[in-house]
Structure 1
Amino acid sequence: MKEFSHLDPKGNPSIVDISEKKVTKRSARARSVVVLGGEVMKLLEGNDIVTRKGPVFQTAIIAGTMAAKRTDDLIPLCHSLGLENCQITIVTRGHDAIIDCHVVTEGKTGVEMEALVGASVAALTIYDMCKAISHDIVISETKLMEKTGGKHDFRRDD
């Protein structure tokens, strides 16, 4: 039977003990999808949306990277990790902005949360920078796409 990893034997919140784990290369990729709609997409110039606040996607990439590096400050029981790489890409398909955040480190615990936080904050940044144009923007999903390097590798095919 599976158990929650962030609870001690008495059921209290607890950071996971990774002291006995081996250091391995670990990576994770998460995706967020932002449905921008036609009104916002009309502002697309080349590969970005340019506003008076600056280029939307470039700003989202920076915000997502900064957030991934600070995940342990945002999620209470996450371990502090030094990220060795964080790459965020944003492509458009139809009225959607598709954000992929790929994170790599060598450590004793995975980087799934860092990838998820990076993709999420990039999506929120796009929302923030475009909300003056439309409030019909929807962050439709954020999900882990793959992870490697721990007990179990994972890959989503959708």
Structure 2
Amino acid sequence: MALTHCDSTGKASMVDVSDKSSTQREARAQAYVNMSADTLLAVTDNRMKKGDVLATARIAGIQAAKKCSDLIPLCHPLALSKVDVNFELQSEQQRIYVESYCKLVGQTGVEMEALTAASVAALTIVDMCKAMDMAMVVTDVCVLEKSGGRRGHYTRASEKT
């Protein structure tokens, strides 16, 4: 398979998508933030000194998806029609599950935007909780599902790890 982000001399190059059809494209991505039980309880009870962790992380994730092309070299700037970031507090596993969703009608996919949203939301959780728990770990950042475009529909074999 030929590399799509290199020109004929091997230099990095943005892919030309002008000949591609505009179709509805969607992607979902995930991340986990593992933390101590005390930290998770403080997030649950909204007791963190920096404020509402999940509300702030949601806004950060949405902003990150919108700025993806500024952060990831060779990504196209996209006119996103929807970005959503949600959380599931999983007390038994001592973690927060982060899931992002991005949608648009366009000529290229939104997987990188979904990954960026989930990643930055997770990093924001870490930033807001690090005074209480420096041992937090972000894991399992991946695309869960994507649809639209030439390659069609993709669903990860096991959505939640």
Asked if Structure 1 and Structure 2 have the same fold, meaning a TM-score greater than 0.5 normalized by the shorter chain, the answer is yes
Q: What letter is aligned with 2:65?
A: A
Q: Which moved more, 1:52-61 or 1:36-45?
A: 36-45
Which 4+ stretches in 1 moved above 3 angstroms?
Answer: none
**Structure 2 residue 139 is the aligned partner of structure 1 residue 136:** no
The question of 1:64 aligning with 2:61 is answered yes
What is the alpha-carbon distance in structure 1 between the residues aligned to residue 29 and residue 18 of structure 2?
26
TM-score w.r.t. the length of structure 1 is 0.94
Q: Offset of 1:157 from its aligned partner?
A: 3.1
Give 1:87 deviation, angstroms: 0.6
TM-score for both structures, normalised by structure 2: 0.92
Choose the corresponding residue for 1:88, options 85, 88, 91.
85
Unaligned runs of 5+ in 1: none
Aligned-residue sequence identity (percent) comes to: 40
**What CA distance in whole angstroms lies between the structure 2 residues aligned with 1:84 and 1:92?**
27
How many residues get paired? 155
Write the distance in 1 (CA, Å) between the matches of 2:27 and 2:44.
30
- Confirm whether residue 13 of structure 1 aligns to residue 29 of structure 2: no
Shift of 1:43: 1.2
Name the structure 2 match of 1:100: 99
CA distance in 1, matches of 2:126, 2:50: 13
Higher strand content, 1 or 2: 1
1:151 alignment partner, SS class:
coil
**Cα pair 2:43 2:53 within 8 Å, conserved:** no
CA distance in 1 between counterparts of 2:104 and 2:149 reads 12
How far did 1:10 drift? 0.9
**What's the CA shift string for 1:44-81, capped at 9, x where partnerless?**
436xx432211101100000000000100001100010
Greater shift after overlay, 122-131 or 51-60? 51-60
Q: Deviations over 1:92-115 (max 9, x none)?
A: 112110000000000000000000
Q: Residues of 2 paired with 1:136 and 1:12: CA distance?
A: 39
Runs of 5+ consecutive residues of structure 2 not aligned to the other structure = none
Residue 125 (structure 1) aligns with = 124
> Could you tell me whether the CA contact under 8 Å between 1:50 and 1:56 is conserved in 2?
no
Distance 1:25 1:86 in 2: 14
RMSD of equivalent CA atoms: 1.1
Deviations 1:2-47 (A, max 9, x none): 232111111100000101000000000000111012121231436x
Provide the C-alpha distance between the structure 2 equivalents of 1:31 and 1:19, rounded to a whole number of angstroms: 30
Rounded to whole Å, the distance in 1 between the matches of 2:19 and 2:43 is 50
Where 2:143 maps in the other structure, the secondary structure is: strand
